[in-house]
Structure 1
Amino acid sequence: MKVRMGMWILTLLAVAVLVSGASAQEGEPGFSISRLVVAEKIEEREPKGLSEVFQMDMARVFCFFEARDIREDTRVSLVWMHEGQEMHETVLPLAAGARWRTWAEKSIHGLVGLWMVEVRDAEGRRVGATAFRVE
C-alpha cells in the first residue's frame, strides 16, 4: 500500500513538472537578448555613441538589438514610445541560429522627454525594453 501511494505521488509530481515545463516554453520568446542599447549611429553593424541621454538637436537615434540561441525563424518588433505613447513600430526578422544582430532607427524630431523602446516577440509579448531621455 505504501509503495503504491509513493508511486502515485511520484506520478503526480512528474505530470506537474511536465505541465509546468510546457507552459513555461509556450511563454518563452524562443531566443535570448544579449544586447539592447540605444546609440547615435551604427557603423560596421555595431552601435556607436551609446547613451541614455541625447540632445534635442539630434535628428535620429538607433536601437541595436542582439539575440542569441534563436530556436526558429521568427520576428521581433521594436516599439518606440515617447512619454508612454506608442510612436512607431519596426518589425524585424530573426533567423534561427546562434546569433542575430539587427537595429531600427527613429527620427526624434526634438521631442524631449522620456523614450522607451520595447522588444516584443512574434506574439506581441514584451520580452525586453530599454529607455533613454531627450533633453
Structure 2
Amino acid sequence: MSLRSVLPVLLCAALAQAVPAARAAEGAATEAEVKACTGVEKFAPTGEATAFKVAPGTRIYAWARVQGEAGRVAEGTQVFVAFSRDGKELFRQALALPHVPYRTQAYRTFRKGDEGAWTVEVLDAEGKALGKAAFDVAFE
C-alpha cells in the first residue's frame, strides 16, 4: 500500500474530526426562547404577557426553552435565570440542563416596591445572554 493511496483516507478522517470541533469553537448557536408568564403547565407557559397588573405576593415566571446543536451543551451544564430592574440584577437562579433542547422555568415573587420595568435573561456559565424577555409590573 503506497502513501498516495492512504493519504486521502487519512485526510478524510482528520477532516471528519476537525469540522465538528471547529463548529463548536466558532460558537454554534445555543440560544433560549424566554417568556414572562404567570404560570407553567405541562412544560408550557400560561398567562404570557409583557405587562402584568397583579396583587402583591404574585409569582411571575420566566419560562425558557434552551436549544442549540446536540452535544454542544454537556449534561449537567448550568444556565442562570436573572431578573433585573432598571439594569440592576436583583435575583439569579442556577438551573441544570440535563440535555438540549430543554424547557425549564424560574420565578420571582413580586412584592410592593417591585413595580416597574423588568428584564429576565437566561445566561450561560460565562454570563453570555442566550435569550431575554422584558415586562412591566404594576399592582392592583
Q: Tell me the TM-score normalised to structure 1 length.
A: 0.72
Match of 1:127 in 2: 130
How many pairs are equivalent?
113
Match of 1:78 in 2: 81
1:31-73 CA distances to partner (integer Å, 9 max, x unpaired)? Answer: 232x210101111221101000001425110000002235222
Match of 2:98 in 1: 95
Instruction: Tell me how far apart the structure 1 counterparts of residues 130 and 28 of structure 2 sit (CA, whole Å).
Output: 7
Instruction: Tell me how far apart the structure 2 counterparts of residues 63 and 84 of structure 1 sit (CA, whole Å).
Output: 17
The answer to whether the aligner puts 1:38 opposite 2:39 as a matched pair is no
Structure 1 residue ranges (4+ consecutive) displaced by more than 4 angstroms after TM superposition: 24-27
**What do you get for the CA RMSD once the two structures are aligned?**
2.4
Question: Would you say the 8 A contact 2:31–2:131 is kept in 1?
Answer: no
> Where do 5+ consecutive residues of structure 2 fail to align?
1-17
Instruction: Tell me how far apart the structure 1 counterparts of residues 80 and 119 of structure 2 sit (CA, whole Å).
Output: 13
> Where do 5+ consecutive residues of structure 1 fail to align?
1-17
Percent identity over paired residues: 26
Question: Would you say the 8 A contact 1:29–1:127 is kept in 2?
Answer: no
Instruction: Tell me how far apart the structure 2 counterparts of residues 26 and 117 of structure 1 sit (CA, whole Å).
Output: 27
2:108 counterpart letter in structure 1: K
Instruction: Tell me how far apart the structure 2 counterparts of residues 96 and 134 of structure 1 sit (CA, whole Å).
Output: 32
Instruction: Point out which structure has higher relative CO (alpha carbons under 8 A, 6+ apart).
Output: 2
Instruction: Tell me how far apart the structure 1 counterparts of residues 39 and 107 of structure 2 sit (CA, whole Å).
Output: 9
1:79-112 CA distances to partner (integer Å, 9 max, x unpaired)? Answer: 1001222111011111234x21000010111311
Question: Would you say the 8 A contact 1:75–1:92 is kept in 2?
Answer: yes
Q: Tell me the TM-score normalised to structure 2 length.
A: 0.70
Q: Secondary structure at the match of 1:124?
A: coil
Question: Would you say the 8 A contact 2:31–2:130 is kept in 1?
Answer: no
Instruction: Tell me how far apart the structure 1 counterparts of residues 82 and 116 of structure 2 sit (CA, whole Å).
Output: 16
Question: Would you say the 8 A contact 2:78–2:95 is kept in 1?
Answer: yes
